[in-house]
Structure 1
Amino acid sequence: MKSKWDIVNLGKYISQQSIRNRGLENIEVYSVTNSSGFTKSTDYFNKEVFSKNLSNYKLVTREQFAYNPSRINVGSIACLFDANFALVSPLYVIFEVDKDNLFPEYLLRYLKSNYGNVQIRNNTQGSVRDSLKYEGLEKIQIPLPPLDDQIRIAAVLTRAEKLIAKRKESIKALDELLKSTFLEMFGDPVRNEKGWDKKEFDSVVKDFRNGQSPVSTGNIKGKVYTLSAITGGIFKGNEYKISTFESINDNSIVKNDDFLICRGNGNINLVGRSVVVRDISDKIIFPDTMICANIDITKINKKFIELMWKLSFVRKQIENFSRTTNGTYKINQQSLKSIIIIVPPVNLQNQFAAIVEKVEVLKAKYTQSLTDLENLYGSLSQRAFKGELDLSKVPLEKENQVIELYDEGMAAATMTSELSASKK
């Protein structure tokens, strides 16, 4: 990249750390995720997945960095800001920075930026799975502004990140509103205190269809959805790639109102995730990592089943049915058919669906706002690292209100009134 700042090798400003927990100190074990940074392993995995013997685990202290060498290319790197100590897997790489010349929060944002990701990928090694060793990390080139400007850049980007986080919270609040409305109208599906019919999922499905995956030897090009199109809670119709097929099976073409279900993933939390397909006009294929259910709308409302599918009542069944092979969790069609659901009268389901439609209008607006904020963050980040931001008015000791496109107070105020209106 071209920048007005000096471009330097990161290795000059960092040093590797590898202190083991030989004293068996009672310190929390953490994982590093691409979305949340340092996260307690018991919270992330909902169970204890680490070794009972922690003597070989690595110690991280405040403002030190840790990353998973095989997942840093998807953003799994973090700096410890919220605790004095943490233990991480022996596989992780730990390092600290020369704080006289490099501000930790500045470096973290650079390494997680598009520019930083290119540098990371250029320095990974591995024939089967790319991995960034410490020697590769040292070769990464970074723009190095004066320390004061690094602090200002971090403040600008932190401000944008907080706005993004608030918008995500607004979207999450809408999801929680729908779940609470569901429970208010239909009760807890596990206890089923309202006595609704309980049936197998198969009884409300006309038919199931399997997907079709691309082949490298094919000569027919086609669009195929990626799992990200259906595992994020809403249908993302633009999440597809161009691939080749030997032939295209009509049954693998996605249709509006199809109920797409994730069949397999390395993360059990994503197995069984589903969405109802909406507003597509293009010819797009779903892969064999998905299963499609054609819902019988005379028996169940699609918005009703889509929401119920997200409840722990169904999630627990999916996870119990899932089987793992070579690190990939899968659920088959037969298991999906046997999942137990509640089936209230369709007219009551339709009333719930009307509420869902109102909330979806708000969610679409908030989602677009989130996209705009993320684009804004990308632009700010790019300009900051190229030295194109005017930092002269950014206070050194505190964040400045540098983004005037969005008002934080607006989110909370509008949210309260709009949520109330959506339930009427």
Structure 2
Amino acid sequence: MRVKLEDVCERGSSNIKQSDIIKMSGNYPIYGASGLAGKVNFYHQEQPYVAVVKDGAGIGRTTLNPAKSSVIGTMQYLIPKKNVLPEYLFYVVSYMHLEKYYTGATIPHIYFKDYKNKEFNLDNIEKQLEIIDVLGRCKKVIEARKQELVELDSLTKARFVELFGDIRCNNKLPLVKLSEFVNIGSSKRIYANEYVDKGVPFYRSKEIRELGTGMKPSVELYIKQERYDEIKEKYGVPKKGDILIAAIGATIGYSWIVDTDTPFYYKDGNLIILSIKNNVNPIFLNYTMRILIEDFKNKDVAGSAQLALTIEKLEKMMVVNPDIKLQNQFADFVHQVNKSKFDTMTFAPIYAIINLYLHTYFYQGRR
């Protein structure tokens, strides 16, 4: 049966601020754009529900939250009606990619009124359970493989420390400003009305996160080839060896070393580019930046509701400058670890199953 989103859920809102819960404690979880924000002594929702980030960074991100929990005010409740299971509603809304409905230039917003009429296929409860089971099993496989990736990453971390020590308090290696290694910049603004269905891929933090973990990006937005060519001629575009870093919100610090000549562009404000200009290995620098940005998140912006990594902050960062031979030695080790990752743990077949299910059961024109 073909239905609209508003036929299966009710909108709910929250006026809770992040600052309201800092000193609270309790047994009931409360969620924000980045996930669990804390535990409090109250809850707003008796049953499981879907939550959507409606303001600021991470806009459109969808989560399935448990019974007896709440969200802060930057999120929107989608409360399931009796004709839909919460898990089914979660998959439906996730596949809608609500971020494309945003308005506002400085602080983006999305409103229920803008996507409540989105249509999809509503199956009976028995069929919903079947679909949820298949997708749930796929997710379990993905989680198991992610744990294997964590263990391989531990090997990389150990090798880095063996070669360079703790770079945050290393007195043996020379320090230089990051700006001596790279040119730090951002993209030219692309407006929502410039998005097209086909063309040059347009990457945001989500795609950079996927690329940085070796996945094929699930591209959702494109710009015209003519627009890309114009930007390339006037301002330049990313090239092989450049590093793109997610600079805001929940994905801050995720990065990707550009490894292709295939045209793409990227979102202003969300991503910062490091264009290498001196004798430095991009793999070494990329790993160094992960450590420094994690340290930045923990120390400089602790308790902040809106994490943001600016060009100015990056320019002030000091990085170690070891001999290029050591940098290359570390890069060779990373190549070997990545080979193990990509040879044995590709997510592509699993995501193909998920996307097939989502497209076939939710959005093909079945009646």
The question of a shared fold, defined as TM-score above 0.5 by the shorter chain, is answered with yes
Matched, 1:332 2:311: yes
Distance 1:73 1:287 in 2: 14
Partner of 2:257: 276
Quote the residue 1:40 is aligned against: 36
Q: Are 1:253 and 2:248 counterparts?
A: no
User: C-alpha distance in 1, partners of 2:266/2:132?
Assistant: 41
8 Å CA contact 1:174, 1:359 repeated in 2: yes
| Aligned match for 2:123, one of 132, 145, 148 | 145
Task: Tell me the C-alpha RMSD between the 2 structures.
Answer: 4.6
> What's the offset of the Cα at 1:213?
1.8
Structure showing greater radius of gyration is 1
CA deviation string 1:139-162 (max 9, x = no partner): 565534332232222112211221
Aligned partner of 1:301: which letter? N
Structure 1 counterpart of 2:81, from 91, 97, 111: 97
CA distance in structure 2 between the partners assigned to 1:283 and 1:125 by the alignment: 25
Give deviations 1:238-274, integer Å, cap 9, x for gaps: 7684342766446623332234455x54x2752x654
Given candidates 102, 106, 110, the residue that maps to 2:92 is 110
What's the offset of the Cα at 1:187? 2.0
The yes-or-no answer on 1:303 pairing with 2:283 is yes
Give the Cα–Cα distance (whole angstroms) in 1 for the partners of residues 332 and 310 of structure 2.
Answer: 31
Give 5+ residue unaligned stretches, structure 1.
1-5, 44-53, 389-424
SS at match of 2:308: strand
Decide whether the 8 Å contact of 2:60 with 2:110 is kept in 1: no
2:36 aligned partner, one-letter code: K
Residue-by-residue CA offset, 1:57-99 (whole Å, 9 max, x unaligned): 861224344444559983424242xxx521323563352432x
Query: Which letter maps to 1:40?
Result: L
Cα deviations across residues 335-378 of structure 1 (Å, max 9, x unaligned)? 434311223333333222211110122233356x2122101211
Write out aligned runs for 1:159-238 (5 A): 159-192=137-170, 195-203=172-180, 205=181, 208=183, 210=185, 213=188, 223=200, 226-228=203-205, 230-232=208-210, 233=212
Q: Is residue 76 of structure 1 aligned with residue 76 of structure 2?
A: no
1:7 alignment partner AA:
R
- 1:363 maps to 341
TM superposition shift of 1:41 = 0.9
Q: Distance in 1 between matches of 2:254 and 2:31?
A: 23
**Residue of 86, 103, 106 corresponding to 2:69:** 86
TM-aligned CA distance change 1:268 to 1:340, over 3 Å: farther
Q: Are 2:14 and 2:71, in contact at CA under 8 Å, matched by a contact in 1?
A: no
Encode CA deviations 1:270-321: one digit per residue, 9 max, x unaligned.
Answer: 2x654432232x4656676533332423xx332211111111x344348878
Distance 2:310 2:299 in 1: 9
Return the letter of the residue paired with 2:111.
Answer: S
Question: Residues of 1 paired with 2:213 and 2:317: CA distance?
Answer: 22
| Deviation (angstroms), 1:16 | 6.5
Distance (whole Å) between structure 1 residues aligned to residue 286 and residue 148 of structure 2: 20
The residue type equivalent to 2:37 in the other structure is S
Take 1:106 and 1:372, find their aligned partners in 2: how far apart are those partners? 21
Q: Is the 8 A contact 2:244 2:257 kept in 1?
A: yes
Q: Which amino acid aligns with 1:95?
A: I
Assess, with a 3 A threshold, how the Cα gap between structure 1 residues 339 and 377 changes in structure 2: closer, same or farther: same
* SS class of match (1:107): helix
| C-alpha deviation, 1:176, in angstroms | 3.1
Distance 1:18 1:287 in 2: 29
CA contact (8 A) 2:50 2:62 kept: no
Alignment partner, residue 45 of structure 2? 60
After superposition, what is the alpha-carbon deviation per residue over 1:21-54, rounded to whole angstroms, capped at 9, x for unaligned?
9xx9945452255xx8xx31149xxxxxxxxxx8
1:132 equivalent to 2:118? Answer no
CA gap of 1:155–1:32, structure 2 versus 1, over 3 A, is: farther
CA displacement at 1:379 relative to structure 2: 1.1
Query: What is the aligned residue count?
Result: 335
Q: What is the identity, as a one-letter code, of the residue corresponding to 2:167?
A: P
For structure 2, the residue ranges without an aligned partner over 5 or more in a row are 17-23
- Which stretch has the larger CA shift, 337-346 or 139-148? 139-148
Do 1:318 and 1:339's aligned partners in 2 also have CA atoms closer than 8 Å?
no
C-alpha contact 1:199 1:343 (8 A) present in aligned 2:
yes
Q: Does the C-alpha gap of structure 1 residues 387 and 158 become closer, same or farther in structure 2, counting only changes over 3 Å?
A: farther
What SS does structure 2 have at the residue aligned with 1:252?
coil
Contact 1:79 1:104 in 2 (8 A): no
| Aligned-partner Cα distance in 2 for 1:18–1:251 | 42
Q: Distance in 2 between matches of 1:79 and 1:88?
A: 9
Cα shift readout 1:89-133 (whole Å, capped 9, x = no counterpart): 3563352432xx5433233323323xxx28x799x7978843115
Are the structure 2 counterparts of residues 328 and 223 from structure 1 closer, same or farther at C-alpha, using a change threshold of 3 Å? farther
